[in-house]
């Protein structure tokens, strides 16, 4: 069994022998399950949920394997391992998703047991990346690094990862179940659109507790999460979640797949009544059996100790000088850096959205390049963001000019994080069996239309999110501009919304007007942005202008006064 090299000094949850034995057991279990399927002992109906619980879908062209990147954190060795799998079993590339996971698109069922063994060798797996179970827990891509952090959410994300892994009671829920956690007031984990959203906070004396939202979710019936609890003390976290899941498992609808998510239960029962039921269950089960002991939290927290930062001045003269001397570098530094907790460091977003590229796709070569850069500049650690970019979380500001130069040859230096070109897009009809319309080529076209990065910077923060069907993997409901592909009598057609927001000020977008054809979408986006530029006041972002003047003027701009 391969063990991770000690080169990476960043705080990462490293597997121990027990974790590895679990994974080895699991790989062998799936090897036998695949053999049973191939021999005919399992029907497709019986095998499907089993393969889905191992992240294996049958898509348009082949099987798709979705690999869990727990809360979006990877070591450089893991990234190299993923690159190798992409090269050996796939077509030399993968797709990073809005769930911080990685998907390979050209997988053969017969190869999957060996792929899972290769993944286990780098302490990774595809467990619960699909199926009606608790999915990979997601969090802030800047966890443990960002200056505005109150609690490091990785500690609790890892606890939830362990707790939810092959949970005996909650592996056959009415529907999938997604949990996201943030530890900052600024929500970069989109907790309001998850089945459970958790905001870690500090109370009196620094004690950690959690605000819990429930029933967020997009898809056919989008809802923002409702507040279920203001403060769940740390020792009660698992008991409280068990109580929510038990109520959901028993009372969530199973008669209609479109009404089976917990958001529908919240909607139909009402959050107040549900809160009472959950509180009653919680009171019954809280106690030693479900208590999250401080010792466990401490043990897991020790995995996420800060890397060995150097003591540096808060301001880097090398960074300042490079900014002054090179406008292209200055532009990149303006959009792709995030302030760090540690003086003299920065968190860096590596855009997977090159102009005209496929959002979230990375080749095996790029993955290896990022791994090498992570080793050189960021303690051997990489993050995947829900916005489908990669992050080096702990880079010395002095090293930023060199890092930027090293990113260029690999196409990873696009200065567009958070801007028009940084489009979230699901795979859409080009890959996905559920899709109704293509999304990738539209994202490419929009990104080409706004290829001028200075223009993108002048426009400022603008999040375009696009889905190829109502399932909303591309989070279109919470895009500043949201684009939803629908199939209208065999023709790809797109519905456009504005004013959506996935952060702490979460909002669902409003429809601008009638859906438009494929060829008109980019023009519509450009019109919406033109109106924003005409009407914005100083410092106003696109969604601020939408909030101030409403959808009407935008509608008129796109459809004319008569509309």
Partner 1 sequence: MALLLKDGLPVEDPWISLDDAVEAIPDGPVIVSLDRWRRDRAVLVARNSPVGVRLKSSQRTGEIAPDLDRVALVALEFPKFRDGRAFSTARELRERYGYTGEIRAVGHTLPDQYQFLIRTGFSTVAVPDGANLATWQHALTEIGVAYQAGVAGDTPLSLLRRKVHLAAAPHPQGD
Partner 2 sequence: MAQAGEVMKVVSANRLDTGTVVWLAAGDVWVERLAEAAVLGGAAAGAALARTQTTDAAGVVVVEPYLVDVTVAGCGPQPLRPRERIRARGPSVRPDLGIQGAGALA
Least Å distance between CB 494 and partner 2?
Answer: 13
Rounded Cα gap, residues 367 and 226, in angstroms? 38
Tokens 């003269």 correspond to: 317
Site for partner 2 in 190-229 (CB under 8 A): none
The residue range among 94-102, 107-115, 179-187, 413-421 that interacts with partner 2, by the rule CB under 8 A, is: 107-115
Residue 136, helix vs strand vs coil? coil
189 and 98 Cβ atoms separated by less than 8 Å = no
Token readout for 65 is 């394997």
Write the binding mask 288 to 327 for partner 2: x where contact by CB under 8 A, - elsewhere. ----------------------------------------
Other beta carbons within 10 Å of 39? 8
Token readout for 136 is 């990979």
Q: Is residue 63 a contact point for partner 2 (CB under 8 A)?
A: yes
Number of chain positions touching partner 2 (CB under 8 A): 30
Residue 444 touches which of partner 2, partner 1, none (Cβ within 5-8 Å per kind): partner 2
Residue 109 touches which of partner 2, partner 1, none (Cβ within 5-8 Å per kind): partner 2
Q: Residue 191 contacts by C-beta under 8 Å, 6 or more apart in sequence?
A: 180, 181, 182, 197, 198, 199, 213, 216, 225
Rounded Cα gap, residues 169 and 177, in angstroms? 13
425 and 485 Cβ atoms separated by less than 8 Å = no
Sheet strands (E) in 335-430: 337-339, 345-350, 361-363, 381-384, 390-396, 424-425
Sheet strands (E) in 306-438: 337-339, 345-350, 361-363, 381-384, 390-396, 424-425
Residue 440 touches which of partner 2, partner 1, none (Cβ within 5-8 Å per kind): partner 2
Q: Is residue 49 a contact point for partner 2 (CB under 8 A)?
A: no
Least Å distance between CB 296 and partner 1?
Answer: 6
Least Å distance between CB 149 and partner 1?
Answer: 24
Site for partner 2 in 330-369 (CB under 8 A): 358
Q: Residue 63 contacts by C-beta under 8 Å, 6 or more apart in sequence?
A: 56, 57, 107, 108, 109, 112
Chain contacts with partner 1 (rule: CB under 8 A) = 18-19, 21-22, 25-26, 28-29, 32-33, 36, 41, 46, 49-50, 132, 159, 162-163, 165-173, 238, 246, 249-250, 254, 284-285, 288-293, 295-296, 300
In the complex with partner 2, which residue's Cβ is closer, 59 or 351? 59
Q: Residue 8 contacts by C-beta under 8 Å, 6 or more apart in sequence?
A: 75, 76, 77, 374, 375, 379, 380, 381
Closest CA to 397 of 191, 147, 199: 147
150 and 200 Cβ atoms separated by less than 8 Å = yes
Select the residue interacting with partner 2 from 32, 91, 273, 324 (CB under 8 A).
Answer: 91
Q: Is residue 429 a contact point for partner 2 (CB under 8 A)?
A: yes
Residue 84 touches which of partner 2, partner 1, none (Cβ within 5-8 Å per kind): none
In the complex with partner 1, which residue's Cβ is closer, 172 or 258? 172
Rounded Cα gap, residues 192 and 217, in angstroms? 8
Q: Is residue 486 a contact point for partner 2 (CB under 8 A)?
A: no
Residue 429 touches which of partner 1, partner 2, none (Cβ within 5-8 Å per kind): partner 2
Residue 355 touches which of partner 2, partner 1, none (Cβ within 5-8 Å per kind): none
Q: Is residue 106 a contact point for partner 2 (CB under 8 A)?
A: yes
Closest CA to 517 of 497, 499, 496, 500: 496
In the complex with partner 1, which residue's Cβ is closer, 219 or 235? 235
Least Å distance between CB 121 and partner 1?
Answer: 18
Residues that bind partner 2 (CB under 8 A): 37-38, 40, 44, 58-63, 91, 106-110, 358, 429-431, 435-438, 440-441, 444, 487, 490, 492
């Amino acid at each position: 069994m391969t063990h991770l090299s000690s080169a990476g000094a960043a705080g990462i949850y490293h597997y121990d022998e027990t974790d590895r034995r679990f994974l080895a057991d699991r790989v062998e279990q799936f090897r036998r399950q695949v053999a049973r399927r191939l021999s005919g002992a399992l029907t497709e109906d019986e095998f499907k949920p089993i393969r889905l619980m191992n992240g294996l879908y049958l898509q348009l062209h082949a099987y798709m394997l979705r690999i869990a990147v727990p809360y979006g954190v990877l070591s450089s060795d893991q990234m190299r391992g993923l690159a190798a799998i992409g090269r050996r079993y796939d077509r030399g590339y993968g797709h990073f998703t809005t769930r911080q996971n990685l998907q390979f698109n050209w997988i053969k069922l017969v190869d999957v047991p060996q792929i899972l063994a290769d993944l286990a060798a780098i302490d990774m797996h595809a467990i619960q990346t699909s199926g009606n179970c608790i999915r990979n827990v997601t969090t802030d891509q800047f966890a443990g690094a960002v200056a505005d952090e109150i609690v490091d959410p990785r500690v609790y994300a890892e606890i939830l990862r362990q707790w939810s892994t092959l949970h005996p009671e909650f592996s056959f829920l009415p529907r999938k179940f997604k949990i996201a956690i943030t530890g900052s007031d600024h929500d970069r984990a989109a907790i309001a659109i998850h089945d459970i959203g958790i905001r870690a906070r500090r109370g009196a004396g620094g004690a950690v507790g959690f605000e819990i939202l429930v029933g967020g979710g997009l898809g056919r019936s989008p809802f923002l999460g409702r507040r279920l609890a203001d403060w769940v003390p740390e020792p009660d976290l698992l008991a409280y979640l068990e109580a929510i899941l038990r109520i959901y498992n028993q009372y969530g609808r199973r008669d209609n797949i479109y009404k089976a998510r917990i958001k529908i239960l919240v909607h139909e029962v009402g959050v107040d009544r549900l809160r009472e039921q959950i509180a009653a269950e919680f009171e019954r089960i809280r106690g030693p059996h479900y208590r999250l002991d401080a010792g466990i939290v401490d043990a897991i927290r020790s995995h996420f100790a800060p890397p060995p930062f150097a003591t540096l001045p808060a301001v880097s003269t090398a960074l300042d000088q490079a900014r002054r001397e090179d406008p292209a570098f200055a532009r990149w530094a303006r959009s792709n850096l995030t302030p760090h907790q540690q003086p003299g460091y920065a968190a860096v977003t590596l855009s997977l959205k090159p102009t005209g590229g496929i959002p979230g796709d990375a080749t095996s070569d790029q993955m290896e390049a990022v791994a090498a850069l992570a080793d050189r500049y960021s303690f051997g650690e990489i993050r995947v963001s829900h916005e489908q970019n990669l992050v080096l979380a702990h880079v010395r500001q002095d090293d930023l000019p060199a890092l930027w130069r090293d990113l260029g040859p690999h196409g990873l230096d696009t200065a567009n994080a958070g801007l028009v070109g940084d489009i979230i897009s699901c795979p859409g009809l080009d890959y996905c069996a559920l899709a109704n319309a293509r999304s990738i080529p539209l994202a490419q076209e929009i990104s080409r239309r706004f290829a001028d990065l200075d223009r993108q910077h002048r426009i400022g923060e603008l999040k375009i999110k696009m889905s190829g069907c109502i399932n909303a993997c591309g989070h279109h409901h919470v895009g500043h501009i949201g684009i939803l592909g629908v199939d209208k009598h065999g023709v790809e057609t797109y519905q456009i919304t504005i004013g959506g927001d996935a952060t702490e000020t979460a909002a669902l977008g409003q429809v601008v007007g009638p859906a438009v054809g494929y060829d008109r979408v980019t023009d519509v986006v450009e019109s919406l942005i033109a109106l924003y530029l005409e009407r914005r006041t100083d410092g106003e972002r696109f969604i601020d202008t939408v909030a101030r003047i409403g959808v009407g003027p935008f509608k008129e701009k796109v459809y004319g006064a008569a509309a």
